[in-house]
């Protein structure tokens, strides 16, 4: 029997069990450290009582390892485990001392996996957050499709070589752009002109067209800078990165599941080797899941950014038409 410092009945049972066993082992410098792998029969109706599954390790107490080190892979376990039961004697403030009694030690037979390993295999086969990640990832894929379609539509709108504009659609089979049609019209009119004043007027019209084209170029540059580039940045820096992290998460999940399946088929010789491998894969998976969660949290409000880009598109287009009208008004006033 061993006694450790006072604890509270509301304390975490597994945490207190680990602390108890570690403190108890320190009182036996000639022995080896032990690991608590699970607690069961936890009863808080009258204080705190519980049973523990404890695995001896090959790490001597004389090494003075910290509790954290004892529970790391640096401290391998043996092929037997010990059943221990504990009770917490309470005072009026629900504080007291945990007293534990060893019940039984026995070897692990090939088909006798400790309770904690059975529970771990059963509970870890599916994770609570994997389904949530899949749903969030589907949303991101939807956002990616939306972004690409939005960028494609804006590019078609600003394409200087567009062949299916409003004027050419009225004409029918003609594949010339509005600008080409208008320039061709001016050229034909100028060639037929013999009146100098008319020729001068057409020259002013041509210059006005150059100014309008410059306004259109400015509009397209603004749309590129304030509409297309920000959306492309999300695609390249955020969504592509999330997709790469998701691939790593799926790989880690597959390796974790494979390790669990191998642990199910473990025998006496390789049980703890496979258990340690499973723990390593589990830790890698949880680390990758944490990274994935951070990326999800850092995703900007893409819908707002799309709305802002469309608003910028409309503003730039409005300014272009406003400039065009001003240029034409000046032309009409002077002539």
Question: Which residue among 107, 142, 175 closes a domain?
Answer: 107
Give the CATH number of the domain where residue 143 resides: 1.20.1270.60
pLDDT score at 311 = 84
pLDDT score at 124 = 44
Strand partners, 53: 38, 83
The CA-based dihedral angle spanning residues 21, 25, 31, 32, taken in that order and rounded to the nearest 10 degrees: 50
Q: Quick one: which of 172, 195, 171 has its CA closest to 185?
A: 171
**Domain match, 15 and 99 both:** yes
**Domain match, 98 and 141 both:** no
Task: Please state, in angstroms and as integers, the Cα–Cα distance from residue 49 to each residue in 29, 35, 45, 86, 204, following that order.
Answer: 27, 19, 9, 6, 98
**Domain match, 180 and 267 both:** yes
User: Is residue 117 a part of any domain in this protein?
Assistant: no
**Domain match, 149 and 259 both:** yes
Total domains present in the chain: 2
Distance CA 333, CA 328 (A): 9
**Domain match, 133 and 216 both:** yes
Weakly modelled stretches of the chain, pLDDT under 50: 1-9, 104, 106-127, 163-173
Contacts made by residues 151-156, CB under 8 angstroms, sequence distance 24+: 151/228, 151/231, 151/232, 151/235, 154/223, 154/227, 154/228, 154/309, 154/313, 155/228
From the number of C-beta atoms within 10 Å of its C-beta (0-12, 13-18, 19+), residue 92 rates as: exposed
Query: Strand, helix or coil at 19?
Result: helix
Average pLDDT, the chain: 72
pLDDT score at 93 = 60
pLDDT score at 1 = 40
**Domain match, 285 and 175 both:** yes
Radius of gyration of the chain (CA): 38
What range does the domain containing 281 cover?
Answer: 128-334
Q: Quick one: which of 87, 85, 37, 84 has its CA closest to 57?
A: 37
pLDDT score at 169 = 39
**Domain match, 8 and 92 both:** yes
Whole-model pTM: value is 0.44
The CA-based dihedral angle spanning residues 146, 152, 153, 154, taken in that order and rounded to the nearest 10 degrees: 110
User: Is residue 121 a part of any domain in this protein?
Assistant: no
- How would DSSP label each residue in 128-180? HHHHHHHHHHHHHHHHHHHHHHHHHHHHHHH-TT-S--HHHHHHSS----HHH
For 194-212, the pLDDT digits (tens) are: 566 666 777 777 777 788 8
User: Is residue 57 a part of any domain in this protein?
Assistant: yes
Strand partners, 89: 97
For 127-174, the pLDDT digits (tens) are: 455 566 677 777 778 878 877 887 787 777 776 555 434 344 344 445
**Domain match, 169 and 231 both:** yes
User: Is residue 309 a part of any domain in this protein?
Assistant: yes
**Domain match, 313 and 195 both:** yes
* The residue count for the chain: 335
User: Is residue 116 a part of any domain in this protein?
Assistant: no
Q: Quick one: which of 297, 289, 294 has its CA closest to 252?
A: 289
Give the CATH number of the domain where residue 102 resides: 3.10.450.10
């Amino acid at each position: 029997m061993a006694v450790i410092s006072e604890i509270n009945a509301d304390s975490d049972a597994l945490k207190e069990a680990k602390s108890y066993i570690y403190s108890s082992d320190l009182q036996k410098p000639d022995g080896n450290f032990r690991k608590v792998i699970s607690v069961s029969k936890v009863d808080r109706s009258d204080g705190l009582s519980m049973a523990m599954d404890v695995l001896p390790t090959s790490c001597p107490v004389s090494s003075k390892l910290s509790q954290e080190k004892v529970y790391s892979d640096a401290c391998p376990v043996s092929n037997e485990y010990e059943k221990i039961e504990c009770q917490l004697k309470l005072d009026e403030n629900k504080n007291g001392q945990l007293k534990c009694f060893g019940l039984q030690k026995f070897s692990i037979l090939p088909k006798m996996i400790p309770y904690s390993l059975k529970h771990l295999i059963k509970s870890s086969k599916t994770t609570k957050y994997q389904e949530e990640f899949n749903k969030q990832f589907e949303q991101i894929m939807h956002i990616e499709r939306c972004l690409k379609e939005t960028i494609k539509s804006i590019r078609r709108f600003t394409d200087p070589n567009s062949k299916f504009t409003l004027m050419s659609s009225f004409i029918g089979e003609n594949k010339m752009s509005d600008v080409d049609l208008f320039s061709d019209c001016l050229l034909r009119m100028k060639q037929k002109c013999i009146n100098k004043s008319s020729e001068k007027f057409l020259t002013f019209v041509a210059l006005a067209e150059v100014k309008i084209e410059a306004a259109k170029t400015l509009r397209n540059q603004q749309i590129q800078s304030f509409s297309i580039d920000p959306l492309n940045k999300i695609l390249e820096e955020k969504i592509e990165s999330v997709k790469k992290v998701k691939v790593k998460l799926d790989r880690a999940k597959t390796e974790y599941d494979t390790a669990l399946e191998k642990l199910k088929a473990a025998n006496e010789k390789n049980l703890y080797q496979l258990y340690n491998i499973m723990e390593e894969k589990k830790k890698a998976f949880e680390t990758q899941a944490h990274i994935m969660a951070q990326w999800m949290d850092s995703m900007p409000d893409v819908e707002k950014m799309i709305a802002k880009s469309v608003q910028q598109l409309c503003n730039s287009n409005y300014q272009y038409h406003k400039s065009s009208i001003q240029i034409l008004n000046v032309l009409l006033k002077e002539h």
